[in-house]
Amino acid sequence: MGKVDAPVTASVAADGKSQPECINSSNPFHECSDYCLRKIAETRQRLDDEVPDSWKRPPEERTVHPDCINASNPYHDCSEYCFKRIADAKAGSERAEQEPPAIDAGKSDAAEQQSDDNEAEKPDGYPQMTEKQKKLFELQLKMNEARKANQQAMVAEKKRMEPRGESRGVSKQKWLEDRKKKIGKLLDSNGLDMSKAYMLDTQETAEAKYKKWEKEPAPHGWDVFNQKTLYDAYKKRTKNIEIDMEAYNKAKESDPEFYRDASSLQYGKVSKVPEENIDKMVKELKEREEKRQSFSRRRKFNEDKDIDSINDRNEHFNKKIERAFGKYTLEIKNNLERGTALPD
């Protein structure tokens, strides 16, 4: 590509036509002038200067390996990366050849051996390389193969020298998978599918499952004070109280109005309660009181209190320091707040 000559520019400008390379060629009313043609010529020259020398060189002078995957590109030059790829491919093919052949692959192996022999009989495979380039390329291939062999030997030695790690436990997912496999084998042996897995559970396992299903979640919010929750709490309290059924039946038989209704005339009359039952009631109330006192609830946040901490842990530490040294540092703190402790 060369520059546009001046006579051509003048002739084209005289015709008053728009060039296809002009940036304003899409405008049907545009006519290229000397300025447009000069810009087109400068653009062509800049593009010509930006083309690398390797693209301008004829394909016969390039250096490319015939086994390279980019060998069909007439402007490609093999680099270190290409040589590494070729060496890796050859090493992989050699490992595949070293593996024991299969029984039904005898013919294919024989064909590969014949093709290898034909390749060995061929003349030099690098006609476009000089002698120095050929030696350098062969050395690079050997270095790559040696580096790969050293890496494989090092990994194998590391595995051989390292002690065998003992598993300290089995993950839950793996345990579930193993258990599912075992259950599947048992079901298959008994002619059952996976939906009948519950038939393999023992009586103890089934009872534990039922108890777990029947267990209700703890109440929260307003459900703590509803009738059902209060009744459950009452049953829990009376579960451990011993009842003398003989004394209860005797008291019921001796008093016809043991259970009084609204029409009863025995107002203010109380049946005699044994002293033992009164002592049991007092003991149960004392136990409830002790349990209530030992209960620790979360303290509410005081919004009116001054913030002197950056997080909960620092707030707890400041409380401990205040309990120990608060009375000694009260005057200093007040002076700092008033500003009287600061120098003039």
Residue 259's pLDDT is 77
Name residue 141's amino acid.
L
The Cβ-side half-sphere exposure at 160, using a 13 Å CA radius, reads 6
Residue 311 lies in a domain: no
Residue 1's pLDDT is 43
Residue 12's pLDDT is 43
Domain final position from 34, 57, 80: 57
Residue 197 lies in a domain: yes
By 3-state DSSP, what share of the chain in percent is helix, strand and coil, each rounded to 5? Answer: 60, 0, 40
Can you tell me the distance from the alpha carbon of 274 to that of 271, in angstroms, rounded to the nearest whole number?
10
Please tell me the total count of domains within the chain. 2
Residue 33 lies in a domain: yes
Residue 21 lies in a domain: yes
Quote the domain boundaries for residue 206: 174-211
Residue 196 lies in a domain: yes
Residue 95 lies in a domain: no
Residue 286's pLDDT is 92
List of residues 6+ apart from 170 with CB closer than 8 A: 178
Residue 95's pLDDT is 72
Residue 2's pLDDT is 44
CA angle centred on 163, ends 160 and 165, rounded to 5°: 125
The low-confidence residues of the chain, meaning pLDDT below 50, are: 1-14, 102-108, 118-123, 166
Residue 204 lies in a domain: yes
Q: Answer whether 295's CB lies under 8 Å from 286's CB.
A: no
Residue 7's pLDDT is 43
Residue 305's pLDDT is 80
Q: Closest by alpha carbon to 61, among 75, 71, 72?
A: 75
Residue 56's pLDDT is 55
What predicted TM-score, i.e. pTM, was given to this entire model?
0.27
Residue 250 lies in a domain: no
